[in-house]
């Protein structure tokens, strides 16, 4: 399972450029699914047929945050804009990979005062990417306006905890892949959506459920935690305390019946879990709730530290317990 997470997080596929990650996921699912489709937006939809006539949709978004090249100067330095929630402060000093070219993010400042000021009020106007070239011509042989980039892969296995770029939401993709591999002859139809463009406004999930018309939808995604020094006091989630059953976030109130069902199941199985209220954010569950006449939806979250940085940390047992819970959930 750690290998699976490593493999999925190492693929560079920001929002709008999901082909590489879709191919990787399909490859990992060979022999474990009854069929698949890429819809017109690019969502990868795979299924396994059951006997009950009930349809369960599981979702994980396969895109990741990233950057896009907006301009290239005379000396070959790149200017960038964010794809999704990327903080320029966190980009500083980070390694990026843009069209297979590695670069590092630097900050402007002609005097010490200006540099201090820029560091304090960081913005995309003040940072640039150095890809190790000396001129615009040289740069243009490698990248162009509109090239997409992500953090450079940097998976690390710390034992109980694992660290990587794009745990958001490749760890969710890994959970779905593992669930599909572990269930044979499911009771219900299981549809897994690997959605596009979640990070730029929950785009893929708004259309993916339309043709499937599932009875319920469960989005699997990461959530913030309050278990680091001076973390947000209003957040209760912690690493290692099990999957988080989302009651509400900034976009969605989870379906009450579905949430109760999931909680009862976790209790019956003796799987550790925690309740989640996130005062901000949103997941693909939002998209399913607004599909057709409304699909009862919820989010099952994997608690994660340092979300949207190059080093997102999850607890390995939380991941395993999420797989266990969903594997049983599709049988209900
Ligand atoms: Co995210
Ligand atoms: Zn996410």
CA of 11 to the centre of ligand 2 (A): 16
**DSSP H or E stretch at residue 164:** strand 161-164
CA of 63 to the centre of ligand 1 (A): 9
The predicted-structure confidence for 198-229, as pLDDT tens digits, reads as follows 999 999 999 999 999 999 999 999 999 999 99
Q: Which ligand is nearest to the CA of 87?
A: 1
Q: Which ligand is nearest to the CA of 307?
A: 1
Could you tell me which residues come within 8 angstroms of residue 195 by beta carbon, excluding any fewer than 6 positions away?
A: 43, 59, 60, 61, 62, 63, 204, 205, 208, 284, 287
Neighbours of 201 (CB within 10 A): 12
The mean pLDDT value of the chain amounts to 97
What does each C-alpha distance from 64 to 54, 178, 228, 331 come to in angstroms?
Answer: 31, 20, 24, 30
The predicted-structure confidence for 36-51, as pLDDT tens digits, reads as follows 999 999 999 999 999 9
pLDDT at 243 over 90: yes
Domains in the chain, CATH or no CATH each: 2-64+165-329 (3.40.630.10), 66-151 (2.40.30.40)
Q: 249-259 burial, b if ≥16 CB within 10 A, otherwise e? A: bebbebbeebb
The predicted-structure confidence for 244-297, as pLDDT tens digits, reads as follows 999 999 999 999 999 999 999 999 999 999 999 999 999 999 999 999 999 999
Q: What is the band of 331 on the pLDDT scale with cuts at 50, 70, 90?
A: confident
Predicted local distance difference test score (pLDDT) of residue 332: 77
CA of 75 to the centre of ligand 2 (A): 36
The residue-averaged pLDDT of 56-75 equals: 98
Give ion ligand 1 contacts, CB < 5 A: 168
Predicted local distance difference test score (pLDDT) of residue 158: 98
Q: Which ligand is nearest to the CA of 62?
A: 2
CA of 316 to the centre of ligand 2 (A): 17
The predicted-structure confidence for 140-195, as pLDDT tens digits, reads as follows 999 999 999 999 999 999 999 999 999 999 999 999 999 999 998 889 999 999 99
Predicted local distance difference test score (pLDDT) of residue 34: 96
CA of 4 to the centre of ligand 2 (A): 18
- For residues 332 and 163, which has the higher predicted lDDT (pLDDT)? 163
Residues present in the chain in total: 332
CA of 167 to the centre of ligand 1 (A): 9
The predicted-structure confidence for 95-108, as pLDDT tens digits, reads as follows 999 999 999 999 99
Predicted local distance difference test score (pLDDT) of residue 62: 98
Q: Which ligand is nearest to the CA of 204?
A: 2
Return the biggest CA–CA distance within the chain.
70
Give the alpha-carbon dihedral of 68, 25, 300, 289, to 10 degrees.
Answer: 70
Tokens 């379906």 locate to 255
Q: How far apart are CA 278 and CA 300, in angstroms?
A: 12
Q: How far apart are CA 96 and CA 104, in angstroms?
A: 6
Q: How far apart are CA 319 and CA 90, in angstroms?
A: 26
By annotation, the residues acting in catalysis are: 198
Give ion ligand 2 contacts, CB < 5 A: 168-169, 221
Paired tokens of 217: 């939808």
Q: What residues form DSSP beta bridges with 98?
A: 101, 149
Predicted local distance difference test score (pLDDT) of residue 318: 98
Paired tokens of 113: 């005062």
């Amino acid at each position: 399972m750690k290998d699976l997470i490593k493999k999925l997080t190492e693929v560079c596929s920001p929002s709008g450029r999901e082909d590489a990650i879709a191919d990787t996921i399909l490859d990992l699912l060979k022999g474990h699914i009854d069929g698949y489709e890429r819809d017109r937006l690019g969502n990868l939809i795979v299924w396994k047929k059951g006997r009950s006539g009930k349809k369960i949709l599981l979702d994980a978004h396969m895109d990741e945050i990233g950057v896009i090249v907006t301009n290239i100067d005379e000396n070959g330095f790149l200017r960038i804009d964010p794809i999704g929630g990327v903080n320029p402060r966190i980009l500083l000093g980070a390694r990026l990979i843009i069209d297979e070219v590695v670069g590092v993010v630097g900050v402007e400042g002609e005097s010490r005062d200006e540099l201090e000021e820029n560091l304090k009020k960081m913005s995309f106007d003040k940072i640039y990417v150095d890809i190790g070239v000396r001129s615009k011509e040289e740069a243009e042989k490698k990248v162009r306006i509109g090239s997409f980039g992500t953090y450079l892969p940097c998976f690390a296995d710390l034992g109980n905890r694992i660290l990587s770029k794009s745990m958001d939401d490749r760890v969710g993709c890994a959970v779905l892949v593992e669930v599909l591999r572990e269930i044979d002859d499911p009771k219900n139809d299981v549809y897994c959506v690997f959605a596009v463009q979640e990070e730029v406004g929950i785009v893929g999930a708004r259309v993916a459920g339309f043709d499937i018309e599932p009875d319920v939808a469960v989005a699997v995604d990461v959530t913030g935690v309050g278990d680091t020094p001076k973390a947000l006091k209003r957040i209760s989630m912690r690493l290692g305390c099990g999957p988080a059953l989302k009651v509400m976030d900034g976009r969605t109130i989870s379906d009450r019946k579905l949430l109760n069902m999931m909680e009862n199941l976790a209790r019956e199985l003796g799987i550790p879990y925690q309740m989640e209220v996130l005062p901000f954010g949103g997941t693909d569950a939002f998209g399913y709730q607004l599909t057709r006449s409304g699909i009862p939806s919820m989010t099952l979250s994997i608690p994660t530290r340092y979300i949207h940085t190059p080093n997102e940390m999850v607890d390995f047992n939380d991941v395993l317990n999420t797989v266990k819970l969903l594997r049983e959930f599709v049988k209900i």
